[in-house]
Chains A and B, each alone.
Chain A
Amino acid sequence: DGGITQSPKYLFRKEGQNVTLSCEQNLNHDAMYWYRQDPGQGLRLIYYSQIVNDFQKGDIAEGYSVSREKKESFPLTVTSAQKNPTAFYLCASSIDQGRFTDTQYFGPGTRLTVL
């Protein structure tokens, strides 16, 4: 089955710890994205990547880091510098950035809770 997988589904972190969220896609999509969703708010873009070994900051990149060593994978690290990391994290991918018809599809999400 083609799709986007995220792991883990639930993640608990102690204050001061770094944690890494996994995102993998087998859709052969070039672009991948990370969003954060807080209760009652829309999705906010953290980072995105158009090609391997390249990525760009989104609107709320502070306290987060990413890598794109493989086309299929786009892991997100939530560092201890992120002051309020408790949220629902969503990974998305799309075929081709830059075309107005480009459509993003979402993985199932990871719910991160800071204890």
Chain B
Amino acid sequence: QKEVEQNSGPLSVPEGAIASLNCTYSDRGSQSFFWYRQYSGKSPELIMSIYSNGDKEDGRFTAQLNKASQYVSLLIRDSQPSDSATYLCAVNPLTGTASKLTFGTGTRLQVTL
């Protein structure tokens, strides 16, 4: 069973701080990794994708990938109250002929004033 694990939280950080969200996955052959943000009652929206080991930065967001440790993380700098949401980690194992994503259960982030 291919799995993606996330701490459900809530992760509480003060406004302006760095939020660190973590995700581990079981399929060592996984090729691509995605972070989605989901506000309560809404659908997931793509934040970042990452395919190679190392860091990838986009504005206040940085995704970090370590395939040897089977670990992917998302850092949010200068956290804002509008960042309060559930963050879903998704992994594409690319087995067979279809690119089917496996999702974690999400980490709920609360940014406090």
Contacts and interface: CB of A to CB of B under 8 A. Distances in A.
Interface string A85-100: 0000010001001111
Q: At the interface, is chain B mostly helix, strand, loop or mixed?
A: loop
Given A40-B105, A43-B44, A108-B42, A103 B98 contact: no
A97 B99 contact: yes
Interface stretch (B10-18, B45-53, B65-73): B45-53
Interface residues of A, number: 26
Contacts of B101: 43, 45, 104
A98 B32 CA distance: 12
Most chain B beta carbons < 10 A, residue from A31, A43, A44, A97: A43
A62 to B, nearest CB: 17
A58 interface: yes
Contact of B45 (A50, A56, A106): A106
Given A56-B98, A106-B43, A106-B44, A100 B103 contact: no
B43 A109 contact: yes
Q: At the interface, is chain A mostly helix, strand, loop or mixed?
A: loop
A103 B99 CA distance: 9
A101 B51 contact: yes
Interface of B: 4, 8, 31-32, 34, 36, 42-46, 49, 51, 88, 90, 92, 94, 97-101, 103-106
| Smallest CB-CB A-B distances: 3 pairs | A100-B31, A42-B103, A106-B43
